Amino acid sequence: MTVPTIDLAVIGGSGLYQFPGLENASRRAMDTPYGPASGDIVLGDFAGKRLAFLARHGESHALAPHRVNYRANLWALHALGARRVIGVNAVGGIRADMGPRVLVVPDQLIDYTHGRVTSFCDVEGAEVRHIDFSEPYTAALRQALLDAAGRAGIAVIDGGCYGATQGPRLETRAEIARMKRDGCDLVGMTGMPEAALARELELDYACLALVANFAAGCGDEAEISIEEIFAHLAAATAQVPVLITAMLS
């Protein structure tokens, strides 16, 4: 069977459940050796190229971060022919310049999650592979995102450390203070094991982080408002198709 060519796959996080502007769209329900993916993969034409889109939490946001079947998602995209994947992640900002509505292309991460299936090797009889994860994101794909942002006139911060927490609750002030001491600039709940699984499949992978709020204790707010989070996310998410257009064209 001929594997169709997909120029880019986008995994949408909170606030990005469909990809605007996708033409000639069709849906594929993928059966994987690791169970069901988060939902149908939507294939279509965008900016003259072939794009695949998958909503990480499902199109109705039914899947909490620790319940996402990351293995099935990455395996399904790979099986359809994707070789470059952009993970769009909603995050909280820890660093002072990473406030609400800011876009960041991180270059490092720290994994604080627990209990998640983190490898394709975690199957009886599978070959155990020790991947090099010194640089968790593909440099060339990161640079393609940054260059596209420049062409589109979209402000994006180059670099930063993403701290992946378990969720779905937000973090305590003490937890964020620890993460800041550890060197984290952003906090999110879905960055891992997605990045590591992409590396195991030899996919080019980069993260586009959309800052929805300042993390606990990092802003002026006494309490983080969920309503404000989604308002900030909507504004940041509106820039994603523009950036991807510049990247593909």
Residue 57, marked binder: yes
Residue 214, marked binder: yes
Residue 138, marked binder: no
- CA 71 to centroid of chain Cα atoms: 14
Residue 56, marked binder: yes
Other C-beta atoms closer than 10 Å to the C-beta of 23 total 10
In whole angstroms, give the CA distance from residue 59 to residue 52.
14
* Of residues 85, 91, 177, the one with CA closest to residue 140: 85
Q: Where are the beta strands (DSSP E) in the chain?
A: 8-12, 23-28, 41-46, 49-55, 84-93, 103-105, 108-111, 156-158, 161-164, 186-188, 204-214
- Sequence-separated (6 or more) residues with CB below 8 Å from residue 91: 104, 162, 186, 187, 188, 209, 210, 211, 212
In whole angstroms, give the CA distance from residue 161 to residue 147.
20
Residue 213, marked binder: yes
How large is the greatest C-alpha to C-alpha distance in the chain, in angstroms? 57
- Sequence-separated (6 or more) residues with CB below 8 Å from residue 139: none
In whole angstroms, give the CA distance from residue 227 to residue 43.
31
Residue 215, marked binder: yes
Residue 69, marked binder: no
Q: Which residues are annotated as a binding site for substrate?
A: 189, 213-215
Q: Which residues are annotated as a binding site for phosphate?
A: 14, 56-57, 190
Q: Which residues are annotated as a binding site?
A: 14, 56-57, 189-190, 213-215
